[in-house]
Structure 1
Amino acid sequence: MKCKKCGADVVNGKVYCTNCGAEIQIVPDYNALDDDISNGFRNKSEEKREQTPTKKTGIKEPIQEKKKQPWDKKKKALFIVLGIVCVVAIVFGISMFVTNQKNEKSFAFQRDMAQEYYDNRMFEKALKCIDKAISLDQENMDAKLLRADILKELGQEKEMINTLLSVIDADPENYEAYKRLVDAYSANRDYSSMQKIKQGVTDEKILDLFVGYVPSTPKFKVKPGSYDTRIMLEISTDSTSQIFYTVDGKSPVSNGLAYTQEIKLDEGVTTVKAVATNEYGIYSEVVEGEYNIKLAVPDKPVVSLPSGTYTEEKQVEITVPTGCVAYYTWDGSTPNESATRYRGPFKILKGNNVLSVIVVNDSHQASDVARFNYIYYPQEETVEEE
């Protein structure tokens, strides 16, 4: 072994050089042949590694740094952009999914889907959707009308009618519901049910739907009430129906008389009931009216000439109210309709006479008697007596 510092030979086992005193580091003797052999093996090993695929040995090989190229930065930016786009797409997809879930639970969505299924004649699916829609908004009448249309296509007529009846119960002026019901009842010739839904209807447009099916309710030309004259009562209905009536308060359906002319109502209280029936045997609503007639007694007649003594001829004129006739007597008796009828001014009689006058109206009600005492003697006769 040689000293690394001075190159002198060092005795084995010594730790200091005996020549220069330097510390001895024990290293093998240098041999150039060893370097050549070592380098040869290393070169062959590297050639073999290049020809054979690298296997994982658990030993990390040194990584050679590559020089970054300019396009690497663009690729990195592209990856970042693509990543952002993917995140946005995922967020949007989740948002749309949540929105669709909410929409499926909305009235508008279910109604629109029901309409779409109905238009495409997918009636079973349409019914499921419209039922969901109605459960979300039970006050929507249009949805119920669509449900009735769907049920009609499915042949579920009874359920369709019940649905339409629920509509007019909630909305008594729903024209479309009445129209569908009239069509359904007409197709089945169920005129009695048609008559029931007509009761209480006042809307003229809706009433027009029933023309030809249910007769119109009879109308009294004179309104019920109290009157002081006799009444000739006229009853009317549509031209294709027959009227039956009673004046004793009984039902005109089972006890009515056929109406052919005006009904004369006399003094007293009279209850008139009338009903109309058509060719289908369907009766209208019964109309009823009470008439209380208390005939008015004419006022006592007015006579132009007062009672008194007269020496000159005088005429008597009686004021007769419209619709009345005056009757009179000269003997003091109470006149009646058999007495002398007043037709114009007349002269007083000679002597001492009592004129009695009454007025009779068209109901044959007579006024109180008006009496006048006339003493008439011409002047010439008076002088001769003296």
Structure 2
Amino acid sequence: MRCTHCGAIIPDDMLWCPECGMEVQIVPDYNPLEDVLAQEVKGSVEDATRQIRTDDIRRYRREGSREYSNSTRVLSQGELDEIRARRNAAMRQGRREGRNTTGSMRQSARGTTGNMRQASRNTTGSIRQDRADTGSMRRQATGTIHQRSEAEERRRQQIARKKRLAKKRRQRALIIFLLLIILAGVLGFVYYQNSYEGQIRKGNQALQSSDYSLAESYYKKAINKSSKKAEAYTGLSKVYIQQDDLEEAETVFTTAIASQPSNVELYKAAIQFYVDTKQLLKISELLADCEYDEVLEGVKDYVSKEPQFSLEEGTYEEVQQVTLSSDGGTIYYTDDGSEPDTSSKKYTEPILLKEEGSHVIKAITVNKKKVPSLTAARTYVIQLPIADAPSVTPSTGQYETASKITITVPEGYTAYYTTDNTDPTDPAVTPEEYTGPIDMPEGQTMFSAVLKNNNTGKYTQVTKRNYMLEITQ
């Protein structure tokens, strides 16, 4: 049976359509062979002499079978009642006409009654056979429908089974994937805990908890795992810094650099240590021993070079001038032999060496990072030549006329004299400064003259003259 709404095949044991869900209207089956039989019976009554031909019945049966097999229309109850009423009316009309003609036809019909009965039996047999065939067709159709339903059900079950299996496989794959992730996480955690980074992290935690012994142990383990990385050295130095042991903290870096003199990261860590502990001068001491250009390039911002001197060390017999220069930064210096720092004299112009004696000049350069360079020092000796004793005129003698006493004073010197036989170089004596020729005193005069170097303050030897002036009339 087919659904009148969607055309889907409805199994015999179902009261609604499996596709659209509409209720099935149950009506008696329509058999076209019944109409064929009624028409033939009516024709037999109207024309008792005409026999029903077997080929006609077969033709009707084939047509009816095709029509029935192709029919998908379900008759309503009203249509079914109308068909039955018409069929019953036709049969009653045929009976009345048959009675009217029975007498006249009885004689002629007797001869053919046997034939008609035989034909009727044949027809009835054929109809019964057709009904049997129809039932068989229905059973076959029903069987086919059941088979299709069962096949469809099996297919649906197979699809559902495949979906369940696929879902289980997905769930199993997901579980395996999650287990792998968990396993990888556990392995990763274990690896991290024992890795360089893991040791550093545990060392930092111990350092924050002031567990210095444990922190030192973790940092040393990290160094054993990777001696080239600087983070573990920095952590280990902090362990000693927090215990106020700066010397041991410094040793951590100096020892590491001694074994790895080209490791830029170690130099950077050491420099940061000196900055944090305010030991900037040691940065220059550390870099002074470095012979690797890649290291100096890597920490170039902290490199502070010593200032340059324009004058070589030595002894000079005249006044000298010293110029200082640097590649960058500010120069500070001292000229008394003390160590310079940022509170010393700031170099702005050449240094003049005008006094005799030894001059020790020390200077440093302070770069933009406030890192002072190592101290550069130079020693200069200024030793000016000593002039001869001054020339004094006139010479010693007795004079009868007034005379002038003259002292020859070379450039760079000042002449001093006394007239009472005292030494003009004696600190207890206050000599007279010579400014020009002086009058020779009357009587006996013990005249002493000396020259003083204006730069060094040194005196020459004393020149003495004995004058006797007696003026005659």
TM (norm. structure 1) is 0.39
Task: Return the index of the structure with the highest Cα Rg.
Answer: 2
